[in-house]
Amino acid sequence: MATRKSARAVRATKHDTPFTPIETFYGARSSSVPLTRLEEVRKRSRAFRDELMAESPVLFYKTCELVRVPYPVRFAFANVYTQLPVTTPVLHIVNRLYVVQFASSDGVKTLLFSPSDVLANAETRYFKRLGAGRLAKMEGKVGEMSPEGLIKTAAQKLVAPQGPTVVEWLAKLGLTPADVDYLSYDHLHTQDLRNWLGAERRQAVFPNARLLIMREEWESAQGLIPSQADWYCPNGTRGLDPSKVVLLDGDVKLGAGLALIRTPGHTRGNHSLVARTPEGVMVSSENGVGVDNYAPQHSRINAVRRYAQNLGVEVVLNGNTQESSVDQYISMVQEKEMAGPSARCAEFPNTVTSSEFTAWWLFRGMTPSFNFGDLEFGAVQKPARATTPARAA
């Protein structure tokens, strides 16, 4: 029988938060029968989507390209290639920042979802083994004008081209770092938060921002086993001021048209950004790396589509760590049902993944069925503190 947790869904370390707990999914995964859990989650996801569609859209929603990174095809489409040769072993994923503004009981708020500190994140062991190590062994320094430095810079641009930084994207929108109220990530793989929130004598880049994170993800990052540690930036959370970390114990409504919903699997403490936009409900995490993961039966990638047809699976996992694959499968169904069909291509759901598989001339042979690319809805809201002119004496 489904049990209800208490309404105590949010626990801040010091500050209390105005977020409303969402009870829709309480107990939906309590059965020991996976199929029962799947169908219960599916049913409730559809109801949740209907609720969100009845709300007004968030005030502003934009996705911004930060960096492209190589990613193994065997991770991107877990298990698809176990009995097949991989003709293109690596594809490119685009990491994007989401700038979302929404009305809350406490006024207009600005949330940055998945704001990667690209340079700091490069310390992640996986990145180092993948290519940064090889780059490091080359002569010269990235950005140096010597022939060796120029070769190294060109090599990095080729393999992992970078776009504007998070702060540069904000400036393009007329926002300052001080305008940011919240940071959130679906999970903490590769993330280093110390520059953003301030730690170990570093000044916070975002002086007014607090991190919104599931308690399980936060606690997990404090004591990783080696298979996980490969993906977490070493010391990425060390020394953060606890008052800047808001630990969530479940699903929450952040404001009109916006929620954070637990979607465990890729990591145990994973959550998704669920936003009502003028183009429907958009759901973001890295349980998948693009629409092909969420509707593999319609994929234009032959191996992915055939795998889905042979096994009868309705999603294909992004499986670099596979902390819990059954949970991840159920969470991905939850995500696609909350999202509903995309207005751009109805065969695929509105799952706008924060790392999106994208065609790249260097890695030929793998093309996604379709991309969302950069999205923008609504108008940027200038927070009061940024627009209030200083009064003349």
CB closest to Zn ion, residue no: 189
Nearer to Zn ion, 95 or 299 (CB): 95
For residue 190, the minimal CB distance to Zn ion (Å) is: 7
49 touches Zn ion by CB under 5 A: no
Nearer to Zn ion, 189 or 253 (CB): 189
Nearer to Zn ion, 17 or 126 (CB): 126
x-or-dash pattern for Zn ion, window 285-304, by CB under 5 A?
A: -x------------------
For residue 289, the minimal CB distance to Zn ion (Å) is: 10
Q: How deeply is 281 buried, as exposed, middle or buried, from its count of CB atoms within 10 A (0-12, 13-18, 19+)? A: buried
For residue 321, the minimal CB distance to Zn ion (Å) is: 7
Report how far residue 121's alpha carbon sits from residue 127's, in angstroms, rounded to the nearest whole number: 8
For residue 26, the minimal CB distance to Zn ion (Å) is: 26
For residue 320, the minimal CB distance to Zn ion (Å) is: 6
> 327: helix, coil or strand?
helix
Q: What is the DSSP letter of 18?
A: -
Report how far residue 86's alpha carbon sits from residue 390's, in angstroms, rounded to the nearest whole number: 61
Nearer to Zn ion, 159 or 233 (CB): 233
Residues within window 168-197 making contact with Zn ion, judged by CB under 5 A: 189
Nearer to Zn ion, 277 or 354 (CB): 354
Contacts of 121 (CB under 8 A, 6+ apart): 127, 190, 191, 192, 233, 236
DSSP 121-189: HTTSHHHIIIIIHHHHHSSS-TT-SSHHHHHHHHHHHHHS-B---HHHHHHHTT--GGG--EEE-SS-B
Amino acid 232 reads: Y
268 touches Zn ion by CB under 5 A: no
For residue 112, the minimal CB distance to Zn ion (Å) is: 18
Residue in this structure with the two tokens 């109805």, named with its chain if needed: 346
From the list 58-66, 71-79, 116-124, 280-288, the region that binds Zn ion by CB under 5 A is 280-288
Report how far residue 350's alpha carbon sits from residue 376's, in angstroms, rounded to the nearest whole number: 14
Could you tell me the two tokens for 100?
Answer: 């979302």
Nearer to Zn ion, 194 or 266 (CB): 266
Torsion sign across C-alpha atoms 49, 375, 297, 292? negative
From the list 107-115, 243-251, 284-292, 304-312, the region that binds Zn ion by CB under 5 A is 284-292
> Can you give the binding site for Zn ion, defined by CB under 5 A?
189, 286
